[in-house]
């Protein structure tokens, strides 16, 4: 059994997945609220005889937890989150979490994202404002006042991504485990008039992409070399009979 070829193949599968992940991070380096994806790879021992052979598994995705840089916009409906929390939005696929706080108000007074998804409060209900109700002030705790009167509050949620997640759109994510509302947390809040940039360093990511691409090419070359050596061995052994 040519275990070397199978080990190299498992490495190629892992490297290809890593390349796709880095490429997605680079493509979204300018996406507001985007959090990059990383992959954790584990060693897999094959049940081969007489020696155990180490393979590479396909890896497990996880989100980078670092926050992106904050950019001052001055917009009264631009909101950035401080700390480990997310906004909740209602999408066609169900509730999703996002760090993109570029909100607008519809003619009916509903608070929505730039893509038109309703923004939810801590109870999971859409936030309703008055489109002509005057200046909107959003406090550090997410409380929304309009015309000097409290009218609603932004829902902040903590996401558990240990059991996996799927992406929705460019910056939203949908964890497999239901998120929990953040209540009375002094380390979590919002800043009105700011937006959070992606937590991806495009230069570093491009460097990683080049390194992974070269590693993939190197493994491919080793596989071709291994196949060539096997062919020569077969020819030699076949000709000696």
Closest CA to 193 of 138, 120, 238, 150: 138
Give percent above pLDDT 90 in the chain.
57
Is the bond into 207 cis (omega within 30 degrees of 0)? Answer: no
Write down the domain spans for the chain.
3-64+200-239, 70-196
Q: Express each pLDDT in 156-188 by its tens digit.
A: 999 999 888 999 988 999 999 999 999 888 899
CA 205 to chain centre: 14
Average pLDDT over residues 199-208: 91
DSSP SS3 for 209: helix
- Crossing angle for the helix pair 3-27 and 202-239, nearest 10 degrees? 160
Residue 213 pLDDT class (50, 70, 90 cuts) = confident
Q: Express each pLDDT in 27-69 by its tens digit.
A: 999 999 999 998 876 554 455 555 555 556 666 788 998 999 9
Q: Which residue has the higher pLDDT, 156 or 4?
A: 156
Burial class (CB in 10 A: 0-12, 13-18, 19+), 201: middle
Q: What pLDDT is attached to residue 42?
A: 57
Q: What pLDDT is attached to residue 201?
A: 93
Q: Which residue has the higher pLDDT, 31 or 19?
A: 31
Residue 1 pLDDT class (50, 70, 90 cuts) = very low
């Amino acid at each position: 059994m040519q275990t070397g070829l199978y080990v190299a193949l498992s490495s190629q599968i892992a490297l290809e997945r890593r390349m796709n992940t880095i490429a997605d991070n680079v493509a979204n380096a300018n996406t507001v609220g985007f959090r990059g994806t990383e992959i954790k790879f584990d060693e897999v021992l094959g049940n081969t005889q007489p020696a155990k052979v180490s393979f590479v598994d396909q890896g497990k995705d996880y989100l980078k937890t670092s926050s992106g840089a904050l950019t001052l916009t001055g917009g009264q409906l631009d909101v950035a989150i401080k700390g480990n929390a997310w906004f909740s939005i209602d999408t066609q696929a169900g509730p999703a979490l996002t760090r993109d706080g570029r909100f607008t108000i519809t003619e009916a007074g509903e608070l929505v994202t730039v893509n038109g998804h309703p923004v939810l409060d801590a109870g999971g209900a859409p936030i309703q404002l008055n489109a002509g109700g005057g200046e909107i002030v959003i406090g550090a705790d997410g409380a929304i006042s309009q015309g000097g009167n409290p009218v609603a509050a932004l829902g902040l949620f903590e996401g558990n991504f240990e059991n996996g997640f799927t992406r929705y759109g460019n910056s939203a994510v949908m964890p497999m485990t239901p998120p929990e509302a953040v209540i009375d947390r002094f380390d979590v809040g919002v800043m009105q008039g700011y937006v959070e940039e992606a937590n991806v360093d495009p230069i570093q990511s491009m460097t990683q992409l080049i390194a992974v691409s070269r590693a993939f090419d190197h493994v491919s070359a080793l596989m071709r070399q291994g196949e060539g050596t096997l062919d020569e061995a077969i020819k030699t052994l076949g000709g000696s009979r």
